[in-house]
Structure 1
Amino acid sequence: MLVKQSIAIEDVRVPLKRKKTLDEAKVQQIAESIIDEGQLTPIQVRADGPGFVLVEGLHRLEALRVLGETSVEAYLVRARLH
């Protein structure tokens, strides 16, 4: 079972490959939704040393960053073993 926790946005690293998929219009739309309703869906991260690596939720994370938030609701997931 995933447990939601609040983590510092500055502790979340976004992989370069994932950053390339960023859509600014989508970030703006999500930011407006967060202003109205709050963050409804947590992002997913995995532990990486002292911080975290983003697994899912790039646009939500960036929307919160644009809004000046310092923390994000997140689920800590395990890395998949291949």
Structure 2
Amino acid sequence: MLRIEKIPVDSIYVPAARRKTLHPETVRILAEDILENGMKVPIQVRPDGARYVLVEGLHRLEAAKWLGETAIDAYLVQARRH
């Protein structure tokens, strides 16, 4: 079973290819939903030395940053490097 951990948002690396899929309007809408209802699904990251690499949840991560959050709930997963 996966365990939720609080991860500092500034220690999460987003690969360039994944960043290209970012839609600012989706981030804004999601941030408003998080304010009203909280974060429903944690993001997924994989450990990579002293940092974490985002596996899933770019829009949730960006929404948390937009809201000024310094940490985010995340699942630590084992994922293949691209």
Do they superpose with TM above 0.5? yes
Amino acid at match of 1:26: T
Corresponding residue of 1:48: 48
Aligned to 2:61: 61
The residue number in structure 2 matching 1:9 is 9
Give the distance between the partners of 1:67 and 1:48, measured in 2 at CA: 26
Q: Which runs of 5+ in 1 are unaligned?
A: none
How far is 1:39 from its partner? Answer: 0.8
- 1:79 CA displacement: 1.8
- What CA RMSD, in Å, does the superposition of the two structures yield over aligned residues? 1.0
Structure 1 residue 26 corresponds to structure 2 residue 26: yes
Aligned residue number for residue 70 of structure 1: 70
Q: Which residue is 1:37 aligned to?
A: 37
Q: Which runs of 5+ in 2 are unaligned?
A: none
What is the number of equivalent residue pairs in this alignment?
A: 81
**Which 4+ runs in 1 deviate beyond 6 A?**
none
- TM-score, normalising length from structure 1? 0.95
Question: Secondary structure, in 3 states, of the residue corresponding to 1:78?
Answer: coil
Q: Quick one: percent identity of the two aligned structures?
A: 52
SS in 1 for 2:62: helix
CA distance in 1: counterparts of 2:57 and 2:79, whole angstroms: 16
